[in-house]
Structure 1
Amino acid sequence: MKANRMEAFSDGVLAIIITIMVLEFKVPEGHNWHALFALGPKIVSYIFSFVYVGIYWNNHHHLLHMVRKMNGQLMWLNLLLLFWLSLVPFTTAWMGESRFAATPTALYGMILLFSAVSYRFLHLAILKQHDASFAAAIGNGWKVKLSPLFYLASVGTAYISTWISGFLIVLVAVMWLVPDKRIEHAMGDGG
């Protein structure tokens, strides 16, 4: 199996995840702006999750360009990542329905933490296919180190302030909006 087959499968799963999230929206009862504003927490949680799934899709695409040889370990690690990401629609809906209550927000942070750890496992398995100089060029960037810490902090702070928890979650998204260019540079594609 080639990496592009796994990438196509992953693209399909991520597209379904986004579709499921948008299907959670119900048409408002009223016919005015106030009725739409009542959906505010759901819309905000959807935007969070849409951005996150988009970030994973973008970075996953870059990551799979490093695959030299597909194997069972990569396929299972990719499925582990997709498993955690497939829980995003559930936590998104719960967080929006509860208007960002502590437990749904904490669970959202946990799902993002487990997704990040799964992505890191996949990343490390792909790096093993390359020599030490390539692995050193990709290495452990500051985003890789800070993201799990911020996610973990978002889980704990959700019970103190969901605003702080949400801020930490948004902060990680902002860090990852621009894909890691080290992969392109190390592969010779980035100029």
Structure 2
Amino acid sequence: MNKSRVEAYTDAVVAIIITIMILEFKVPNSAKWKGITQQFPYFFAYIISFIFIGVAWYNHHYMFALAIRISKKVYWVNNFWLFSMSLLPIATGWVGKFPNFRNPEYLYFLVFIFWSLTYLWLSNSIRTTAEHIHSKVDRSISNMPPFKFLNSIFFPISIIITIIGIYIYPIFGLCFTLLELVILAFLTTNDSDQIN
């Protein structure tokens, strides 16, 4: 399958997701600063989701740049990964409106887990494409920090910690997700900025 077409399609869907989230900002009904500061909870959730998408896109680009071929399986798993990301605007909107309530925080975190699992599935699908097994592609993807994290004991431990944290203090969910994303944004493979 033509790799560039799949990448272009993915980029378009990601751009639409970001556009939907930014359109959730409402023009204040007042000219006072209070009108804009009332939207701070959504702005905070939006920042986290924007970083989420940025980290996801960067790592996705890296994997696709390494890939020699995009199989039919990879194409469909990529669609499933995009579907998981397309749920972000709903979760972001809800948690942004009710940041101190458990249910919106749990939904946001469930979307994050769903996305993480589909990302792991996509990574493994690219690695196990016939041309990639035991090759540089396989090794490079296996060395990616997100791939290592999702395959480690730290991933389920972080899930348990976040579930408990949200129950005790709901905003913990967004804060812990932000922390994980910032770490993954800075931890990249050495050659990630040398791939075209």
The TM-score with structure 2 as length reference comes to 0.85
- Over the aligned positions, Cα root-mean-square deviation in angstroms equals 2.2
1:175 aligns with 2:183: yes
AA in 1 matched with 2:182: V
2:134 to 120, 132, 135: 132
User: CA distance change for structure 1 residues 4 and 16 in 2, over 3 Å: closer, same or farther?
Assistant: same
Once the two structures are superposed, the pairs formed by residues 44-59 of structure 1 within 5 Å of their partners are 44-59=44-59
> Separation in 2 of the partners of 1:60 and 1:138?
10
Farther-moved stretch of structure 1 (170-179 vs 46-55): 170-179
Please report the TM-score for the alignment, with normalisation by the length of structure 1.
0.87
The alpha carbon displacement at 1:184 in A equals: 4.2
The 5 A counterparts of 1:81-120 are 81-120=81-120
1:166 corresponds to: 174
CA deviations over 1:136-179 (Å, ceiling 9, x no partner): 45426443333554245323421221233223211111122136
2:99, 2:105 within 8 Å by CA — same for their partners in 1? no
Partner in structure 2 of residue 143 of structure 1: 149
Are the structure 2 counterparts of residues 77 and 65 from structure 1 closer, same or farther at C-alpha, using a change threshold of 3 Å? same
Count of residue pairs brought into register by the alignment: 187
Flag as ranges the 4+ runs of structure 1 deviating above 4 A: 182-185
What letter corresponds to residue 143 of structure 1 in structure 2? F
Cα 1:5/1:137, change in 2 over 3 Å: closer
Deviation track 1:23-70 (CA, whole Å, cap 9, x = no partner) reads 111111111111111111011111111111111111111111122222
Structure 2 stretches lacking a partner, 5+ long: none
Higher mean Cα deviation, 53-62 or 158-167? 158-167
Which residue pairs with 2:72 in the alignment? 72
Q: What's the secondary structure of 1:16's corresponding residue? A: helix
Distance 1:48 1:63 in 2: 23
Paired with 1:148 and 1:11, the residues of 2 have a C-alpha distance of 29
